[in-house]
Amino acid sequence: MNKKINIDKIRTLGELIRSGYKPRTIKQEMRENLIESLRSKTPLFKYIQGYEESVIPQLETAILSQHNILFLGLRGQAKTRLSRLLTDLLDEYIPVISGSELNEDPMSPLTRYGRDLVEDRAENTPVSWLHRDERYIEKLATPDVSVADLIGDLDPIKAANLKLSYADERAIHFGLIPRSHRCIFVINELPDLQARIQVALFNILQEGDIQIRGFRIRLPLDLQFIFTANPEDYTNRGSIVTPLKDRIGSQILTHYPKSIEISSLITKQEAKVPADQKNIISIPPLVDRLLEQIAFEARKSEYIDQKSGVSARLSISAYENLYSVVHRRILMNGEAEGTARISDLYGIIPAITGKVELVYEGELEGISNVAYTLIGKAIRSEFLKFFPDPERTKKSKQKNPYSEVIGWFGEGNEVDILHNGTQRVFEEELKKVVGLHDLVKNYLKNVPKNEVSLMSEFLLHGLSEYSQISKRKLESTLKFSDLVGSIFNMKTEDEE
């Protein structure tokens, strides 16, 4: 690794040589800086959660091997975030020939301009410094990207103004890749590039040189290529041509969070919740888990296209929506603070509907019904961690712990959870159900006093998901009632 250099005192090639600076390729630079970080146990890839034992070790191995890298994974798996964090492995500053459009190393000039300047000025060649943040270039692959965009083309105007032959290197207008010399160059969604454009990358990856039209030109470009791709693209929109994939040293598979806890960490880290909401709104751990469980249910739902994936952005957007649902209720009721409820999860449906791709069966159900189903499955999944299985207790010879609550509804009683009801109205409505609070306290000995009503509401949701009572979502309320009675009421409404 180059020793610490005082860049303020180095403005010429001669001063650079005397400083002891040694030229390195970008891959050598990243490799040596990674080695130093691993030895000193310096944390790398900050804000990346859940990849500590999978993706990150493979990425570090690829960097140590000085490979170009392909991140392959479904949407919302932090592929671009990982790519951008690789700048942390670059030197803070590198020297470049002043005025060079290709970030040329003063001790290893690349173009005619650089060679002529060094030959003419020698040790007085002017040197400037490029920060690592300026050494990250990202291009989204789209079908309209051309070879000229990426590699370059002849510039007739430049040739005419400088009175140059078209065979002269100085008549070339360089594309994005040559201008990324000594940089990390990222192509997102690689399969979206047309096959002929991918073919144009062959020599750059293998030999580091380029060809523009019919003219011979060799530029030993020095780049760290990072590609990202979604497996879905291989069948729906395009593919990575085999010879190009063969030239990419390491292909690293990304994945979604493997646990609710990691998913929750990512959500809280990435969500942009205004401070005024955070200060007055509480999200209980149960509601937090249910929100994350919705994404987990979506990733295995038969209604959702699993090849498309369910982005982590679903949970992030839903989390932001959840705060806003509670905030809106607080503002409408003139309350000073508020707590999220189970029924507030129905307010995050707009964050779900735009984040999933439905299969044919899902289209028949409708996106809103699919979202309701996902919320219901999340509740059902978490319910058994707190309360007995209603289906087993119903078949058991022992006393059914839910009989008093179910019986209360069987007498024709109903509970209305108003979407915009105050906290006092919410709690009073739940207290109407005979035996509900006692049941919660019986099974949840250490439940905080301020969460008794929340867990009571959760118990009602759980009983409805296990078909013990009925739940209907209306425009302004969520109505819990007797299962049998609700069926007859629905028939009457249909007849009318």
Cα separation values, 130 from 93, 103, 105, 212, 233, Å: 5, 8, 11, 27, 36
Identify the pLDDT of residue 2.
58
Residue 492, number of CB atoms within 10 A of its CB:
9
Identify the pLDDT of residue 487.
53
Q: Which of 151, 118, 135, 138 is nearest to 27 (CA)?
A: 135
Query: How many percent of the chain have pLDDT more than 70?
Result: 90
Q: What is the pLDDT of residues 55-96, one digit of tens each?
A: 999 999 999 999 999 999 998 999 999 999 999 999 999 999
* pLDDT, greater one: 165 or 95: 95
What band does 149 get if pLDDT is binned at 50, 70 and 90? confident
Q: What is the pLDDT of residues 121-144, one digit of tens each?
A: 999 999 999 999 999 999 998 888
Mean pLDDT in residue range 301-322: 93
Q: Which of 359, 361, 232, 356 is nearest to 296 (CA)?
A: 356
Identify the pLDDT of residue 345.
96
Maximum distance among all alpha carbons in the chain?
99
Identify the pLDDT of residue 354.
87
What band does 414 get if pLDDT is binned at 50, 70 and 90? very high
Q: Which region among 2-16, 377-391, 455-469 has the lowest average model confidence (pLDDT)?
A: 2-16
Mean pLDDT in residue range 334-358: 93
Which ranges in the chain are annotated with CATH 1.10.8.80?
261-383
Q: What distance in Å separates the CA atoms of residue 187 and residue 309, rounded to the nearest whole number?
A: 21
Mean pLDDT in residue range 103-111: 89
Q: How is domain 7-253 classified at the architecture level of CATH?
A: 3-Layer(aba) Sandwich (3.40)
Superfamily covering domain 261-383: Magnesium chelatase subunit I, C-Terminal domain (1.10.8.80)
* pLDDT, greater one: 425 or 194: 425
Which ranges in the chain are annotated with CATH 3.40.50.300?
7-253
